[in-house]
């Protein structure tokens, strides 16, 4: 039977990996819990429009739902890009919960999404940042000096400030670049290292477990949302919230399994951790970028300090919940 | 409106407009714009709402034009075109041809073989089949006619030789295929080398058999030769060799990426041209203008195709087609045969990039589901696109030879000549299909 | 794709109604596009040389490359259109009469307008929004989006005007039965 409301869902990524699997889980839950009222039609790989156009694409209802990336529309989503500040907040579940509550309760973010004709549904994360190198570990910050490294975003800018020679490449091209020596190191996430087979050509993993990129979101067109029945809106909100638990669990499991597979077998990956004192210095450099972000948010007419403080308070809140009760899927 | 019906109508109108001499970009673009608008304005089973439809369509239009081209990776398209223009205007490409010509003087059909080899060399640097046909057609065809060669051989050997441009790296279709399918462009380039060489050898065999059966087609070539001619001719080709080495060593030695190689090799060609005093300021300006002109023209067509592809995605035809083929539960080989047939039929009418963008979203998931190698399939696709360049009614390479060759040349004699090569093209295609190792040997050895 | 280097094809193209300023502007589009290609090659080469030998590179070079790409692609369109240089399939219409040929030219211009009109509007809206929002790119300097978007809009806008002129010229040719052919070279 054809669903009563078909939701056109655009995603810039091809349909493989944890992201698309969990998004498809969300689609099937929507259908199940709405008794078939809500159906989803996916358009993967940016066939409809590119990720760069996702904010506009959902705003104008070219698609009803899409994944947004703050780095592609940094001005439009400046309030949401608080999730990309390099902070030592690497727990996926805590980070996602904090972003979710911030986006759904803070007036500045609610107004931002409303002005863009969007309804915020839920968010995604890259999980913690690690460094994979061809033949060295990054034990100290000095080890980054002069290293040819592929890195992106605000984390990449800090590596650059520390003297790394940062090259910009898409993750798909890193395999060749590591192999031929165009880059010696790559900023990546555990499951993603295995997806792109980078462990074939680089054997030293520095388990940095620094922060994560959290300024990803799933948004819906406002008119589409308002056209839904009260019951279906309720379903949508429940599924969106449950998505976070699903995604956090799945990506953590994927990371653990990827590490297990990569460190066993014929040609295993070697793993080391950064010296704790050095890592503290790195984290301090991340905190030092906060005023820049606040300034950028203030320039956009937003209460930068307040958004940041609210976000940090929410991170603390969910860390406490995790420490007291554990992750929801373990209960 | 029913999206599926809209999709089929859209495709039919494109074909009619194409036949009515409307520019390819306009055919694809206008139909895509109109159908995308209708799709949103008039949802299936809903009421017509023009302003809402228009609002939704605008994002599709800007994303598939501006967002698509605002890209670092795509800069290699204008930069490789610039390289070919500079190499042509500085005479670097002529040197490759002359060198091959002197060395092959005694071989039956030697000039035709030299032309084919010259195309191989040219394409190795420029990555453009049509540029190859245009440049080599201007150099070789008149010389062969002067030497008493038949018109069919003198034209078709260059038209066919020009198709080596996209198989032998670098190659724009491989770049676009790699970006589209997220496969490694370097691997695709490596995968094209052996099939390129096999095609080259195949064409030479055709020439040898053809000349053997009708010797009047290619009278024995006699040119006064001084001692040392061969050595001199070979040495003169050094700038071309140097450019090729810079690209190959740079990419595989870890100095720069493929995108960067385009910029570096273009700058090097300009530098060589100026140092050898063979690139005048006027011809440098001309190279730039031609590059600008051709890049803009190419991307106008690509935009039309991109918007069209988005519209086809909206209609849901692609998943439907995949479901049909999967439900039919036929063997993988029949699926591949259907895909090849689709490429060949489209190749008779459409330009290669248009075909690439129209068919990849449909064909790639199918090929992926079968667990087949995407690099291998990339070689098959590019080979099919290359065949499309020489098949009537729309064989771009044939038209270019006609355009640069002058009014004495008959288009039907070009196609008549090409028909002899098409037999070997089919044989090569079947070989590439049956033995993926021919494509994968080099990339697998390198990685 | 690569319909490159077609000298004869090019000379068959002819210029029609030619307001001097527009001709100048269209040629300037090709000149600016040519200069942009040189800058692009320079940026990439400098970036590679800087990285290889000096361990430094041009900041935001990816964004700059994208801006140069949209500029160099869009600006020559009006010139190409004026020369009727867009690639078309001519095989099925080679036999038609001169008058039918003019009708086909009118069809081509109308179909072209149906594509370029909406694209001009859409890219214009996108430009206006980028200025209105003050949109910028992520990177070291948060470079603004409006320069590239302006060039892109300009490319479409100039082409749109030229298409209207071509349509007017072709309709005139049809009405006066080919008596306004003096524009042909
Ligand atoms: Na090539
Ligand atoms: Na063809």
Q: pLDDT digit string (tens) for A176-230? A: 778 878 889 999 999 989 877 788 889 999 999 999 999 999 999 999 999 999 9
What chains are in contact with B, requiring at least 3 Cβ pairs below 8 Å? A, C
DSSP string, B59-116: HHHHIIIIIHHS-SGGGHHHHHHHHHHHHHHTTHHHHHHHHHHHHTTTSTTHHHHHHH
Over residues A93-100, the mean pLDDT reads 97
* Residue B131 confidence (pLDDT) above 90: no
What share of chain B in percent tops pLDDT 90? 26
> Average pLDDT for residues A47-53, to the nearest whole number?
88
pLDDT tens digits, C66-92 = 999 999 999 999 999 998 888 776 667
- The pLDDT of A4-30, averaged and rounded, is 89
Residues near A16 by Cβ (< 8 Å), separated by ≥ 6? A195
Query: What is the predicted pLDDT for the residue at C178?
Result: 54
Backbone Cα Rg of chain C: 20
Average pLDDT along chain B: 82
pLDDT of res. C4: 35
What token pair was written down for A309?
């403080």
Using a CB-CB cut-off of 8 Å, the residues of chain A touching B314 are: 43, 48
Checking if the pLDDT of A318 tops 80, the result is: yes
pLDDT at residue number A39: 95
For residue A262, pLDDT over 60 is answered with yes
Whether the per-residue pLDDT at A3 is higher than 80: the answer is: no
The string of pLDDT tens digits covering residues C58-70 is: 788 889 999 999 9
Predicted pLDDT at B44: 76
Residue with more model confidence, B101 or B159: B159
* Chain C CA closest to residue B163: C2
**Interface touch A75/C51, C-beta < 8 Å:** no
Q: Which residues of A touch B70 (CB under 8 A)?
A: 52
- Distance from the C164 Cα atom to the nearest Cα atom in chain B, whole angstroms: 14
Q: What is the mean pLDDT of chain A?
A: 92
Indicate whether B323 belongs to any domain. no
Angle at A146 between CA A144 and CA A152, to 5 degrees: 65
pLDDT of residue B124 exceeding 80, the answer is no
**Distances in Å between the alpha carbon of C111 and those of A72, A212, C17, C105, C163?**
34, 49, 19, 10, 10
Band of the pLDDT at A296, cuts 50, 70, 90?
very high
Question: B176 by DSSP, 3-state: which?
Answer: helix
Checking if the pLDDT of B1 tops 70, the result is no
d(CA A197, CA A161): 28
Q: Which residue of C has its CA nearest to B83?
A: C41
Is B1 within a domain? no
Contacts of A72 in chain C (CB under 8 A): 138
**What element of type H or E holds C173?**
helix C146-175
Cβ pair A61:B182 closer than 8 A: no
B298–C1: do the CB atoms touch at under 8 Å?
yes
- Higher pLDDT, residue A280 or C51: A280
Q: Give the range of the structural domain holding residue B248, as residue numbers without chain letter.
A: 74-279+397-444
- Locate tokens 């390198």: which residue? B446
The CA distance from A112 to A236, in Å, is 20
What value of ipTM does the predicted structure carry?
Answer: 0.89
* pLDDT score, position B221: 57
Cα of B119 from ligand 1 centre, angstroms: 9
Q: Which pLDDT tens digit goes with each residue over B89-123?
A: 888 767 766 776 677 777 888 888 888 887 777 66
**Residue C40: pLDDT above 70?**
yes
Min Cα–Cα distance to chain C from A126, Å: 18
Q: Which of residues 304-323 of B touch A (CB under 8 A)?
A: 309-310, 313-314, 316
What was the pLDDT predicted at B108? Answer: 83
Q: What is the pTM of this model?
A: 0.85
- What is the biggest distance separating any 2 CA atoms in chain A, rounded to whole angstroms? 62
Q: Per residue in B216-241, pLDDT tens?
A: 888 775 565 677 777 887 788 788 78
User: Is the pLDDT score of C179 beyond 60?
Assistant: no
What is the structure's pLDDT at B343?
A: 79
The per-residue pLDDT for C10 is 35
What pLDDT is recorded for position C64? Answer: 94
Q: How far apart are the first and last CA of chain A?
A: 36
Which pLDDT value is given to residue B351? 61
Interval between CA A179 and ligand 1 midpoint (Å): 24
Which of C70, C134, C138, C148 to probe by mutation at the A interface, max A CB count within 10 Å?
Answer: C138
Token pair of A31 as six digits: 């259908």
Interval between CA B172 and ligand 1 midpoint (Å): 8
Report d(CA B138, CA B151) in Å as an integer: 14
Predicted local confidence at residue C7, as pLDDT = 36
C162 touches chain B (CB under 8 A): no
Mean predicted confidence (pLDDT) in C51-63: 78
Binary contact (C133, A167; C-beta < 8 A): no
Task: Please state the rounded mean pLDDT for residues A305-323.
Answer: 97
Beta bridge partners of A185: A133, A149
User: Looking at residue B223, what is its pLDDT?
Assistant: 60
Q: Is residue B416 assigned to a domain?
A: yes
Å between A77 CA and nearest CA of chain C = 10
Of the candidate ranges A9-23, B190-204, B412-426, the one whose mean pLDDT is the lowest: A9-23
Give the percent of chain A with pLDDT over 90: 76
DSSP collapsed to 3 states, A226-292: HCCCHHHHHHHHHHHHHHHHHHHHHHHHHHHHHHHHHHCCCCCCEEECCCHHHHHHHHHHHHCCHHH
DSSP B156-173: HHHHHHGGGGGTSSS-HH
Q: Is 60 exceeded by the pLDDT of residue C116?
A: yes
DSSP C46-88: HHHHIIIIIS---TTHHHHHHHHHHHHHHTTHHHHHHTT-S--
User: Bigger pLDDT: A238 or B442?
Assistant: A238
The confidence score (pLDDT) of residue A46 equals 79
How many angstroms separate the CA atoms of A290 and A305, rounded? 9
> What does the alpha-carbon distance between residue B193 and residue B200 come to, in Å, rounded to a whole number?
10
Q: How far is A167 from chain C (nearest CA, A)?
A: 9
Place of tokens 């727990």: A91
Predicted pLDDT at C3: 34
Does residue B48 fall inside a structural domain?
no
pLDDT of residue C184: 42
Contact B257 A172 (CB under 8 A): no
Is the pLDDT score of B180 beyond 70? no
Cα separation of C159 and C165, whole Å? 10
Task: Look at A42-51, B194-203, B341-350 and tell me which has the smallest mean pLDDT.
Answer: B341-350
Q: Mean pLDDT over residues A98-110, rounded?
A: 97
Per-residue model confidence as pLDDT tens digits over B44-76: 777 889 999 999 999 999 998 999 899 887 887
A328 touches C: beta carbon within 8 Å = no
| Pure H helices in chain A | 18-33, 54-59, 92-105, 107-115, 153-161, 174-180, 190-195, 222-226, 230-263, 276-287, 290-299, 304-325
Q: Is residue B194 part of a domain?
A: yes
Contacts of B1 (CB under 8 A, 6+ apart): B38, B39, B42, B44
User: With contacts defined as CB-CB under 8 Å, which chain B residues touch A52?
Assistant: 63, 67, 70
Instruction: Tell me the per-residue pLDDT of B193-203, one tens digit each, with 9 for 90 and over.
Output: 999 999 999 99
Provide the domain count of chain B: 1
The burial class, CB within 10 Å (0-12 / 13-18 / 19+), for C174 is: middle
pLDDT the model gives residue C6? 35
User: Residue C156, Cβ neighbours under 10 Å: how many?
Assistant: 24
Of A90-94, B324-328, C113-117, least confident by mean pLDDT is B324-328
Name which of A74, A153, A167 is nearest C142 (Cβ-Cβ): A74
What is the pLDDT confidence band of residue A96, given thresholds at 50, 70 and 90? very high
Minimal CA–CA distance to B376: which of B447, B428, B425, B433? B433
Distance CA B258, CA B263 (A): 9
- Assigned domain for B210 exists: yes
Per-residue pLDDT, averaged over A18-26, amounts to: 93
Which of residues 37 through 56 in chain C touch A, CB cutoff 8 A?
51, 55-56
Task: Give the Cα separation of B61 and B32 in Å (integer).
Answer: 9
């Amino acid at each position: 039977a054809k669903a009563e409301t078909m939701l056109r869902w655009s995603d810039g990524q091809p349909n493989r990996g944890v992201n698309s699997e969990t998004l498809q889980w969300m689609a099937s839950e929507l259908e199940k819990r709405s008794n078939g009222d809500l159906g989803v039609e996916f358009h993967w790989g940016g066939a409809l429009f590119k990720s760069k156009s996702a904010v506009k694409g959902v705003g104008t209802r070219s698609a009803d739902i899409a994944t947004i990336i703050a780095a592609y529309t940094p001005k439009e989503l400046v309030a949401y890009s608080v999730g990309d500040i390099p902070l030592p907040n690497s727990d996926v579940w805590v980070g996602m919960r904090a972003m979710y509550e911030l986006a759904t309760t803070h007036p500045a973010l609610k107004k931002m999404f409303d002005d863009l004709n969007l309804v915020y549904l839920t968010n995604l994360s890259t999980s913690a940042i690690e460094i994979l190198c061809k033949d060295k570990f990054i034990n100290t910050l000095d080890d980054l000096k002069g290293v040819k490294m592929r890195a992106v975003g605000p984390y990449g800018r800090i590596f650059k400030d520390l003297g790394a020679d940062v090259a910009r490449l898409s993750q798909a091209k890193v395999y060749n670049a590591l192999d031929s020596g165009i880059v010696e190191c790559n900023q990546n996430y555990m499951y993603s290292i295995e997806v792109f087979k980078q462990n074939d050509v680089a054997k030293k993993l520095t388990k940095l477990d620094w922060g994560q990129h959290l300024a990803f979101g799933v948004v819906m067109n406002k008119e589409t949302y308002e056209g839904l029945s009260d019951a279906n809106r309720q379903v949508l909100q429940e599924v969106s919230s449950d998505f976070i638990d699903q995604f956090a669990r799945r990506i953590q499991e994927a990371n653990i399994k990827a590490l297990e597979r990569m460190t066993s077998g014929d040609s295993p990956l070697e793993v080391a951790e950064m010296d704790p004192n050095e890592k503290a210095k790195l984290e301090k450099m991340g905190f030092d970028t906060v005023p820049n972000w606040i300034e950028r948010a203030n320039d956009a007419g937003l209460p930068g300090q307040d958004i940041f403080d609210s976000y940090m308070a929410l991170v603390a809140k969910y860390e406490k919940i995790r420490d007291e009760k554990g992750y929801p899927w373990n209960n | 409106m029913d999206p599926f019906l809209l999709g089929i109508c859209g495709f039919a109108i494109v074909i009619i407009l194409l036949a009515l001499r409307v520019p390819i970009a306009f055919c694809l673009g206008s139909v895509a714009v109109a159908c995308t608008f209708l799709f949103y304005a008039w949802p299936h089973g809903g009421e017509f709402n023009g302003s809402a439809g228009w609002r939704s369509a605008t994002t599709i239009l800007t994303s598939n034009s501006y967002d698509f081209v605002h890209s670092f990776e795509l800069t290699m398209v204008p930069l490789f075109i610039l390289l070919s223009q500079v190499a042509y205007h500085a005479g670097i490409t002529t040197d490759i041809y002359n060198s091959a010509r002197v060395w092959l003087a005694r071989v039956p059909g030697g000039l035709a073989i030299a032309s084919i080899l010259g195309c191989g060399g040219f394409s190795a640097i420029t990555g453009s089949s049509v540029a190859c046909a245009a440049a080599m057609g201007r150099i070789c065809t008149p010389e062969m006619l002067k030497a008493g060669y038949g018109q069919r051989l003198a034209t078709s050997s260059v038209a066919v030789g020009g198709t080596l441009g996209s198989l032998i790296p670098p190659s724009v279709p491989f770049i676009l295929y790699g970006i589209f399918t997220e496969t490694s462009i370097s691997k695709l380039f490596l995968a094209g080398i052996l099939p390129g060489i096999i095609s080259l050898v195949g064409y030479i065999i055709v020439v040898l058999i053809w000349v053997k059966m009708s010797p009047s087609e290619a009278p024995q070539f006699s040119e006064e030769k001084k001692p040392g001619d061969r050595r001199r001719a070979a040495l003169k080709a050094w700038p071309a060799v140097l450019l090729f080495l810079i690209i190959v060593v740079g990419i595989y030695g870890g100095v720069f990426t493929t995108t960067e190689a385009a910029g570096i090799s273009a700058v090097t060609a300009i530098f060589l041209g100026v140092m050898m005093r063979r690139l005048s300021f006027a011809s440098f300006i001309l190279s730039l203008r031609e590059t600008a002109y051709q890049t803009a023209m190419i991307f106008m067509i690509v935009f039309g195709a991109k918007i069209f592809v988005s519209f086809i995605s909206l209609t849901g035809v692609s998943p439907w087609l995949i479901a049909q083929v999967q439900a039919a539960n036929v063997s993988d080989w029949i699926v591949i045969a259907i895909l090849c047939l689709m490429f060949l039929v489209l190749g008779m009418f459409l330009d290669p990039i248009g075909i690439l963008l129209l068919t990849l979203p449909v064909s790639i998931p199918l090929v992926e589901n079968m667990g087949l190698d995407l690099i291998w399939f990339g070689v098959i696709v590019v080979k099919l696109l290359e065949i499309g360049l020489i098949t009537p009614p729309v064989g771009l390479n044939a038209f270019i030879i006609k355009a640069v060759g002058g009014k004495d040349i008959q288009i039907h004699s070009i196609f008549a000549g090409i028909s002899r090569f098409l037999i070997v093209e089919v044989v090569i295609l079947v070989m590439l299909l049956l033995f993926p190792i021919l494509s994968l040997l080099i990339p697998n050895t390198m990685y | 794709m690569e319909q490159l280097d077609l000298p004869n094809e090019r000379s068959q193209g002819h210029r029609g109604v030619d307001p001097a300023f527009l001709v100048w502007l269209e040629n300037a589009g090709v000149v600016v596009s040519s200069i942009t290609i040189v800058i692009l090659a320079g940026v990439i080469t400098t970036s590679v040389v800087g990285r290889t030998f000096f361990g430094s590179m041009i900041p935001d070079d990816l964004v700059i490359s994208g801006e140069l790409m949209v500029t160099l692609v869009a600006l020559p369109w009006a010139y190409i259109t004026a020369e009727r240089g867009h690639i078309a399939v001519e095989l099925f219409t080679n036999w038609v009469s001169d008058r039918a040929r003019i009708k086909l030219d009118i069809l081509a211009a109308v179909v072209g307008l149906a594509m370029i009109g909406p694209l001009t509007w859409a890219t214009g809206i996108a430009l206006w929004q980028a200025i209105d929002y003050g949109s910028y790119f992520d990177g070291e300097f948060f470079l603004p989006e409006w320069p590239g978007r302006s060039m892109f809009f300009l490319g479409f806008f100039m082409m749109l005007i030229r298409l209207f002129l071509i349509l007017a010229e072709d309709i005139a040719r049809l009405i006066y039965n080919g008596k306004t052919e003096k524009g042909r070279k």
